[in-house]
Structure 1
Amino acid sequence: MAKSSTQKKKKKNKKGRSYFYRFSAWLHLWLGLISGIVVVIVSLTAAILVFEKEIKEVVESYQIIETPEEGKFLPPSVLSDLVKDEYGFPSVYSVLYRGPNKSAEVPYYADRTNYQVAYINPYTGEVLHNRYLNDDFWRFMLEGHYQFWLPRNIGKPVVAYSTLIFVITLLTGLVLWWPKRWTKSTKDASFKIKWNAKFKRLNYDLHNVFGFYTLLVALIFGLTGMVYGMKWFSDFAYWSASGGQTNERSRMVSDTLLTANSSKKDQDVLFQNLIDQGVDLKENSINIKYPRGTNGIWSISVNPSFVSRWQAQTIHYEQRSLKILKEEPKLSDANGGEQLMRVNYDLHVGSIGGIWTKIIAFFVCIICTSLPITGFIIWWKKNKKWKGLRFPLP
């Protein structure tokens, strides 16, 4: 009799929940099961990638160099020519000056099947190392994060739409987390983990409580990731933030009939112009992107931060004439859509506020890795007696 009474009470309580709650629970369960393995891999690789730069500087000796007294950086043409001679690159993608005590990076991206990045001492021109990205651990992690180690045309949408599903499960999870009544016991259950509880309860708390505490940051990671994975979402985000403007992506080109105004190489003239304008090369990261083909353009970025990207100021120049084709506006002068696109990367990787936001990003990624696992265990424990997998509607 007691058992029958308890069962009736449980059924009554379940029916007392709104249809919105029950539908949210149904979505949360099945969408979580569908996207779970992708979310685990994407979150785990994200956690590994958070401190990629810091780990490289510790374990790779060629990342850090000695700064000579009153040393001056060599011009970009000298660095690129030395790298091309050393490794036989037919061209280079850019020359990146990373500050006074860091080696300069000279990537070769012309051959998509054989990406490489050379490291060179910007003071002496000594070529230090060549990284083959096809065999690189960090590149492997990035490919898992971005395309699930599948061909890009398949893996990119798989990750992008799994991320969209993850965002939906975060929102439905908030609905399920929200207590029906705010009492002391429901507050404790919602905000505190009972560490001395049995495994079933502890697992539930890890899913429920950690899921709530990481909700906002996890949503930011998910939404900023969707900007990279889905063009329609990127366009919508830009349109919404800019007040209805569209994101123009017209390709700038150089006039191939023009001749050079100087006997010096274009990149060296642009580099010297920065120095003449008072840009401190030791306080700023300088990235000089080379033109692609005879009608390509030069792009020069000056970034006062060595950690994040959102502060970078970029100017695009025509080849030979070195006429300014476009100067990217300062963040404060840009429209909302441009501001959103500019901070999107740093929001996504956690570098927006320096090392402290990266630490937060790391722990949130670890928790996001655990959520599909703890959620699956909750479902499995409840339904381990099932003989078949069914999708009952709420």
Structure 2
Amino acid sequence: MVRITSAKLIKKKRSVFYRISAWLHLWLGLISGIVVVIVSLTGAALTFEEEWRYLFQPYQHAESQGRSFLPPSVLADSVKKAYHLPGVSAVMYRGKDRSAVVPWYRDRANLLVNYVDPYTGKALYSQRLNDDFFRIMIVGHYELWLPRKIGKPIVAYSTLIFVITLITGMVLWWPKKWTKRSRNQSFLIRFKASFKRLNYDLHNVLGFYSLVVALVLALTGIVYGMEWFNNAVYWTASGGKKAEFTRVMSDTTLTPLNDQVEEDLLYARLQKTQVNLEDEHATIGYPRGESGTWTLTVNPKPGTRYLETTQQFEQHSLKLLQADIPYARANGGEQAMRINYDLHVGSIGGITTKIIAFLVCMISASLPITGLIIWLGKKKKAKEKAVS
């Protein structure tokens, strides 16, 4: 008798948990649906950004023909002269047979991206960043093309809601009994079935297969959208430590080095290291203002960011002020922050994980749509039943 009562109690609790999950899945999905669709589609568009640029933008290319890279001052002067600019913000070397990028940043609305041949110094192309297709996609992905203070939290909390719908969806997907029929319904899409059944399978089955990757993409996105979540991830991964940020500034009382170009000195210093500029990416960032610093960023694994390191130097003396700890020696929180971008965009494992990320983005965009169709069908059926 006790066993029967306990079994009924467990069954009742499961039923209540299922109904709560169904309610949350429905209404949270309806609330966040349009945002999830936009964020997923823009994310899919951004997945192969570098590949599309290299394929369709001829100014991304430069032929070495056995020549070496020119120093950054030459590339900067070429861009300033060609496009009548008062200055540049950085010189970015992107490897063999790739053009260098020399941006000019005046303010958020006026950022020019300039491409130059690193072997000849010839200016190749200039574009306002805000006119670039992929920049438009990034703004939509991050803040829905709304003012940042409005759009950013909408995207972040809609993504958090999406995480909850994924988890509740798993609860709804889980078969009550594992039979051959339930396995077929849970794991297979019946393409020859009716539209109603096909739509249900596309929502149910694809949602299951994409669950883990969709959670990774969503959670790593929330890291960028919510400061408290970012801090929580860092604290957890580092074993209870808080992220520390130290801003370094140049000594405004110093004077420039005599007859020497600071960026070229940094470039010469870079050449003396084990960095291979034909295989690695390197960026020399110019100081902003009298107290700004030079930055030297090296990425030994282009296409990802987690191994990227940055050094900051005093503006005039070029004294090293601050340097990143190598990834392997950083604490767990720092490692989590550095690898977060590569997990979010799917670049962590090269083209294979990018393809997976793209497919999951497309599936994620479809889930609110197929879910809405399921809900409208049930609503219509309930209405017809009430009339009859």
Q: TM bucket by the smaller chain?
A: over 0.9
Cα pair distance change 1:181/1:322, threshold 3 Å: same
Select the residue among 228, 244, 249 that pairs with 2:224: 228
Amino acid at match of 2:174: W
Whole-Å Cα distance in 1 between the matches of residues 132 and 119 of structure 2?
A: 27
CA RMSD of aligned residues (A): 1.6
Residues 291 and 386 of structure 1: is their aligned pair in 2 closer, same or farther, counting only changes over 3 Å? Answer: farther
Aligned to 1:5: none
Corresponding residue of 1:338: 334
Q: Give ranges in structure 2 of 5+ residues lacking alignment.
A: 1-10, 384-388
Partner in structure 2 of residue 59 of structure 1: 56
1:327 aligns with 2:323: yes
- Does residue 44 (structure 1) correspond to residue 21 (structure 2)? The answer is no
Q: Which of 176, 182, 202 pairs up with 2:178? A: 182
Does the residue aligned with 1:253 lie in a helix, a strand or coil? coil
Counterpart among 20, 25, 30 of residue 23 in structure 1: 20
Shift of 1:274: 1.0
Q: Superposition pairs for residues 123-134 of structure 1, below 5 Å? A: 123-134=119-130
Query: What do residues 115-144 of structure 1 show as CA deviations (whole Å, max 9, x unaligned)?
Result: 210000011100000012222211111111
SS state of the match for residue 291, structure 1?
coil
The 8 Å contact of residues 293 and 313 in structure 2, kept in 1 or not, is answered as: yes
In structure 1, what residue type is equivalent to 2:301? S
Partner of 1:32: 29
SS at match of 1:18: helix
Deviation at 1:18, TM superposition (A): 2.1
The 3 A distance-change label for structure 1 pair 313 and 16 is closer
Q: Deviations over 1:60-109 (max 9, x none)?
A: 1111111121x111111221122122223233221110001100011122
1:141 aligns with 2:137: yes
Q: Which runs of 4+ in 1 moved over 6 A?
A: none
Structure 2 CA distance for aligned equivalents of residues 189 and 325 of structure 1: 61
Q: Which moved more, 1:307-316 or 1:217-226?
A: 307-316
Equivalence map 1:246-285=2 (5 Å): 246-261=242-257, 263-285=259-281
Deviation (angstroms), 1:16: 8.3
**Number of the residue aligned with 1:109:** 105
Give me the whole-angstrom Cα distance separating, in 2, the residues matched to 1:142 and 1:277: 35
Q: How many equivalent pairs are there?
A: 373
**Contact 2:40–2:364 (CA<8 Å) still a contact in 1?**
yes
CA offset at residue 386 of structure 1?
A: 6.7
Residue deviations 1:29-50, cap 9 Å, x none? 0000000000001000111111
- Per the TM alignment, residue 262 of structure 1 is displaced from its structure 2 partner at its CA by 5.3
The correspondence of residues 240-389 of structure 1 with structure 2, limited to 5 A, is 240-261=236-257, 263-384=259-380
Residue 5 of structure 2 corresponds to: none
Q: In 2, are the aligned partners of 1:92 and 1:110 still within 8 Å (CA)?
A: no
SS in structure 1 at match of 2:190: coil
Identify the residue that residue 10 of structure 1 maps to in structure 2. Answer: none
**Structure 1 match to 2:150:** 154
What secondary structure, in the 3-state scheme, does the structure 1 residue paired with 2:119 have? Answer: coil
Mapped to 2, the partners of 1:321 and 1:21 lie a distance apart of: 66
- 1:360, 1:275 → 2: CA distance? 37
Displacement after TM superposition at 1:306 (Å): 2.1
Q: Tell me the SS of whatever aligns to 1:110.
A: strand
Q: CA deviation at 1:315?
A: 1.4
Distance 2:242 2:328 in 1: 19
- Distance across 2 between alignment mates of 1:337 and 1:34: 33
Unpaired runs of 5+ residues, structure 1, are 1-13, 388-394
Q: Normalising by the residue count of structure 1, what TM-score does the alignment of the two structures yield? A: 0.91
Give the corresponding residue for 2:85: 89
Query: How far apart, CA to CA, are the structure 2 residues paired with 1:53 and 1:78?
Result: 26
CA distance in 2, matches of 1:262, 1:217: 55
The question of 1:206 aligning with 2:188 is answered no
Secondary structure, in 3 states, of the residue corresponding to 1:115? strand
In structure 2, distance between residues paired with 1:352 and 1:304: 14
3-state SS of 1:384 partner: helix
Q: Any idea what SS the aligned residue of 1:170 has?
A: helix
Equivalent AA in structure 1 for residue 90 of structure 2:
S
CA contact 2:62–2:118 (8 Å) conserved in 1? no
Q: Distance in 2 between matches of 1:252 and 1:183?
A: 63
Aligned-pair identity in percent equals 59
Q: Deviation at 1:305?
A: 1.8
**Cα displacement (A) at 1:216:** 0.7
**1:80 aligned partner:** 76
